[in-house]
């Protein structure tokens, strides 16, 4: 039963399955059951089956999933085979760290340009990618549309940039700023990294747990 939309919660688990399948294939494992995959990923077997079944029928009753097949099916669902193009807006430390370390190419994503306001980098290249001034972004998006934008600018700049990216028909924004982007319906899909929220969710859980332990074992 292939559904027309993957549930939001499933979408967040599929990359985790993919990561594990890559590992399994490297080890030479040919088949894996939902039960076994569940042990490694910390997800219930029935949840995995449900997540996978809404994208199509990849499994084989009695034998489980073919690792190679499932991996390549997930690669398609995750958009790795679409040849997506992306730009990096903001060539600060985070932008540079991503350009240097994140294996975009390996997963089918081509970084076509970097944008910044700093005249010391504009006109040069970073890791082989040409750097343009942010002022040129709107016009360049018109001429050469891209699928994704990796946004690593200071929070003050997001209001204007979100508009430029929306008008420029960017389909997805990977947002590293700690601001909420003012996108409207039909605009780009935003995936927030929100490191601040992530760290303080952790601190909150640590504090919560430590508070409960008073009077208990510790």
Partner DNA sequence: TAGATTGTTAATCGATTAACAATC
Q: Which residues bind a copy of itself (CB under 8 A)?
A: 4-6, 11-12, 14-16, 18-19, 40-42, 77-80, 82, 84, 92-94, 96-97, 100-102, 107, 109, 147-148, 171-172, 174, 178, 180, 189, 191, 193-210, 212
Distance (Å, rounded) from C-alpha 56 to C-alpha 138? Answer: 39
**Residue whose CB is less far from DNA, 40 or 139:** 40
Segment interacting with DNA (CB under 7 A) among 16-24, 60-68, 107-115, 166-174: 60-68
The one of DNA, a copy of itself, none whose footprint includes residue 33, by CB under 5 to 8 A per kind, is DNA
Number of residues that bind DNA (CB under 7 A): 26
Distance (Å, rounded) from C-alpha 127 to C-alpha 129? Answer: 6
**Residue whose CB is less far from a copy of itself, 7 or 46:** 7
Residue pair 141/164 in contact (Cβ under 8 Å)? The answer is yes
**Residue whose CB is less far from a copy of itself, 60 or 97:** 97
Distance (Å, rounded) from C-alpha 16 to C-alpha 52? Answer: 12
**DSSP helix/strand/coil, 129:** strand
**DSSP helix/strand/coil, 23:** helix
**Residue whose CB is less far from a copy of itself, 76 or 124:** 76
Residues 38-57, one symbol each (x = binds DNA by CB under 7 A, - = not), give: -----xxxxx-xx-xx---x
Strands across the sheet containing 110-116: 125-126, 129-133, 110-116, 85-89, 148-151, 172-175, 189-192
Distance (Å, rounded) from C-alpha 87 to C-alpha 102? Answer: 13
Binding site for DNA (CB under 7 A): 1, 7-10, 33-35, 43-47, 49-50, 52-53, 57-65
């Amino acid at each position: 039963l292939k559904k027309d939309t993957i549930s939001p919660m499933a979408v967040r688990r599929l990359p985790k399955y993919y990561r594990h399948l890559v590992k399994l294939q490297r080890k030479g494992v040919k088949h894996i059951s939902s039960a076994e995959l569940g042990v490694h990923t910390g997800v219930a077997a029935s949840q995995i089956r449900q997540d996978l079944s809404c994208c199509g029928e990849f499994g084989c009753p009695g034998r489980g999933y073919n690792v190679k097949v499932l991996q390549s099916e997930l690669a398609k669902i995750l958009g790795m085979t679409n040849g997506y193009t992306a730009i990096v807006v903001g060539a600060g430390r985070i932008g540079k760290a991503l350009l240097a370390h994140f294996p975009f190419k390996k997963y089918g994503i081509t970084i076509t340009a970097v944008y910044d306001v700093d005249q010391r980098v504009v006109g040069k290249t970073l890791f082989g990618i040409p750097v343009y001034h942010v002022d040129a972004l709107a016009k360049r998006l018109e001429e050469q549309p891209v699928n994704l934008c990796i946004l690593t600018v200071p929070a003050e700049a997001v209001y204007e940039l979100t508009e430029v990216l929306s008008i420029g028909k960017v389909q997805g924004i990977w947002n590293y700023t700690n601001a909420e982007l003012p996108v409207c319906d039909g605009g780009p899909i935003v995936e927030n990294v929100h490191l601040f929220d992530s760290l303080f969710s952790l601190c909150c859980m640590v504090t919560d747990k430590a508070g409960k332990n008073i009077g208990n074992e510790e």
